[in-house]
Each structure stands twice: as C-alpha cells, then as structure tokens.
C-alpha cells in the first residue's frame, strides 16, 4: 500500500502515483497534432518552415503543459474532470487540424481550438477553488488562462499581421506563466513522481515518432539507395542515443521535490530544458524524411538537421544540469556538453548532404561517452 505525503496546506501526495489511462490517451491525441506539424515541416524543410513549426509546436506543447501540471496537482479521476478532459481533447482535435496550415487557410481553426482549450483549462482550475490552500494558485491560473483565451478569440477576425502579434502575445504569457505562479507553487506543488513520468512518456512518444520517420524516409527514397539506408539507420541510432542521454545519463524522470525555493528554480530549468529537446527531436524526425528522399541535398537541409540534433543535445544537457547529475553537474559544469552540441550544429561546414546524419549520431555518442568518462573520474 502506498503512503500519502501530507503537506501543511492539506495537499496530499500519494507515493507511487502513476499516469492514468486517460492521461495516456490525452498524450496520444496531442502527439497526433505534433505529427501533423512534423509532416508540414518535412514538406517545407527550410528556415521559414522551421520557424513556423517552432512557433506552432510551442503553442501546442504549452497547452499540453497546462493540462499536465493541473492533473499532477489535482487529478482525482472525478467525473467532472473527465468531462472537462474530453472537452480539451475535442479542442486539441481542432488545434491539430489547424496546425497543418496554421499560418494559412486553417489559421482560424487553430486559433479557435486554442481559445477553447484555454477556456477549458480555466474552468478546470475554477473547479478546484473549494480547496483553501489552492485559492491563490487557482486565481492566478484562471486569470492567466482567461486572458490567453481572450487573445486567441480576438485574433479570429483580425488580419494577418495583427493576428500573428496577438498569437505571440498569448504565447509570451504562456511561457512566462511559471514565473507568475511561482509564489503559489510551494502551497500546491506538482506531484514529485507523477510529473517527471508524464514528461518521460511524452519524450518516449516523440522518440517513437523519430523511428516512424525513418520508415517514412525509406518510403520516400525511390529508388532505394545506399545513402538513404545510411540516413535512416543513423537517424534511428541518433534517436536511441537521445533516449540514453535523457533517461540513463540526465535522469530526466528523477523525482522533483519542491522543498524550497531553489528546488522550484531547478524545476523550472528542468521543464524549460524540454523545449530545445522536443524541438530538436521533431526537427530530426522531419529531416530524416527529407534527407532520406534527397540524400545529396546541398541546400539548407543539412544545416537544419544538424541544428535540430544540436538543440536536442543541448536540451538533454539542460535537463541534466537542472539537478546536477553525473552527465552534467549543474550549469557550471555543463560547459563541455554545450560545446559538443554547438560543434554539432557546425558540422555542415565540413560535410554535405546525407553525411551530416551519421556525423550527428557520432557527436551524440561522443557527448554520452564524455559524460560517462567524467562520472568515472
């Protein structure tokens, strides 16, 4: 039997809590939206496409983050929570549809889905106002999500440039939300085991998408060439190396206890570290499809692939630095790992086309080998 941990505020954390079946279903719905974005990036694998992808991905992921932090704090598998969760899923379906062309004809669907999702998040927090210890946190989140919902809704009739500016404002509020609510976090901390597990599951799903991208890459390689096979095998190895870096070296799913203010800062560093990690994994997935189909590409594709791999490596390093693991003992000791990631981004200076992919895999392996050697020393 698991023992509950009771805080002075009255909040109860049950040890050994796991993600629910509904949460796993929720994650898969979100990843379907991410897959839609990745397909769009593969179809337009250039700087403009990468910037559009990054923006839409951050909007989508921060929506997932909002649901995840709420569930980690308050989920009791109640009927009203399931109803609101289903409403959020329906909103994600609309968001995922719009994400395929968020800056074009489907922008209205994307914005309407986001406005609806933020309203449902505000309602989810409003349902928890009966908890005396959570009122400050609930009030802050309700106000922030209501403001974001208003911005997304206001963007619907707006022309292109004003619409984009409104979207940016809504995203900026989202990104800054952890700092706005930081003073309430000690009263209602997220579950120390459940939250890292949820991040770990999302990471696993994205890495699985990388392997799926390798299969799609072979489908796009007609006729099949040795270079295309080398691309997909190297990209699959790169996904495995990211898995080792995140789960084995950086201890990305280690417990996150918020016993004091410094722990709260480390939690935010850990959470923000997933931004480059996830952007990098998604960029590698889309690049695998592109370079497998066009292994002799000499344009910007190799640069984007190397940059995505470097982002993922920097993200793993930041996650490790957030709690001072053997892989990178705090930010002060993470310098060499960031330098390896930076060198990876510059590989296209010396390599062209498909050869960048195995070189990125070799760089990721070198980063892991360095962390192991450092730990032994």
Q: CA 5 to CA 256: how far, in whole Å?
A: 14
5 DSSP β-pair partners: 13
Other beta carbons less than 10 A from residue 228's beta carbon: 21
Tokens read off for 117: 């999702």
Tokens read off for 22: 């509904």
Which letter does DSSP use for residue 158 in this model?
S
Classified as helix, coil or strand, 328 is coil
Beta-strand runs (E) in the chain: 4-6, 12-14
Is residue 313 scored above 50 in pLDDT?
Answer: yes
Which letter does DSSP use for residue 333 in this model?
G
Q: How confident is the model at residue 4 (pLDDT cuts 50, 70, 90)?
A: very low
- Packing angle between helix 47-74 and helix 160-180, nearest 10 degrees? 40
Q: What is the pLDDT of residues 198-230, one digit of tens each?
A: 999 999 999 998 888 888 888 876 777 888 899
119: CB partners within 8 A, 6+ apart = 145, 146, 149
Average confidence (pLDDT) over 118-137: 91
Written as one string, the DSSP assignment of 233-292 is HHHHHHHHHHHIIIIIIS-TTS----SSHHHHHHHHHHHHHHHHHHHHHHHHHHHHHHHH
Worst-scoring range by mean pLDDT, 43-47, 212-216, 284-288? 212-216
């Amino acid at each position: 039997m698991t023992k509950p941990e009771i805080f002075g505020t009255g909040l109860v954390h049950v040890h050994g809590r796991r993600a629910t079946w509904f949460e796993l279903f929720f994650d898969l719905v979100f990843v379907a939206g991410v897959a839609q974005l990745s397909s769009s990036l593969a179809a337009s694998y250039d700087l403009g496409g990468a910037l559009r992808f990054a923006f839409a991905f951050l909007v989508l992921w921060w929506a997932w983050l909002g649901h995840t932090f709420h569930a980690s704090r308050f989920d009791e598998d109640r009927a009203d929570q399931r109803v609101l969760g289903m409403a959020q899923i329906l909103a994600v379906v609309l968001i995922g549809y719009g994400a395929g062309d968020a800056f074009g004809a489907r922008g209205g669907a994307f914005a309407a889905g986001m406005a609806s999702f933020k309203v449902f998040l505000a309602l989810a927090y409003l349902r928890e106002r009966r908890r005396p210890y959570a009122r400050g946190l609930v009030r802050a989140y309700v106000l922030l999500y209501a403001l974001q919902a208003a911005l997304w809704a206001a963007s619907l009739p707006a022309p292109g440039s004003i619409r984009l500016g409104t979207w940016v404002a809504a995203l900026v509020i989202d990104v800054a939300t952890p700092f706005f609510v930081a003073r309430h976090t000690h009263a209602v901390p997220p579950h120390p085991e459940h939250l890292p597990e949820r991040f770990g599951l999302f990471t696993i799903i994205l890495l699985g998408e990388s392997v799926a991208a390798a299969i799609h890459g072979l489908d796009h390689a007609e006729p099949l060439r040795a270079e295309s096979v080398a691309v997909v095998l190297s990209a699959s190895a790169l996904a495995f190396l990211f898995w080792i870096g995140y789960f084995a070296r950086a201890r990305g799913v280690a417990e996150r206890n918020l016993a004091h203010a410094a722990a709260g800062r480390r939690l935010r560093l850990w959470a923000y570290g997933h931004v480059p990690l996830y952007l990098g994994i998604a960029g590698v997935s889309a690049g695998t499809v592109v370079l497998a189909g066009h292994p002799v590409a000499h344009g910007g594709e190799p640069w984007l692939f190397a940059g995505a791999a470097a982002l993922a490596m920097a993200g793993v390093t930041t996650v490790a630095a957030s709690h001072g693991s053997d892989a990178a003992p705090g930010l002060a000791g993470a310098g060499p790992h960031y330098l390896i990631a930076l060198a990876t981004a510059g590989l296209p200076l010396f390599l062209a086309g498909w050869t960048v992919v195995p070189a990125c895999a070799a760089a990721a392996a070198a980063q892991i080998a360095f962390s192991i050697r450092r730990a032994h020393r």
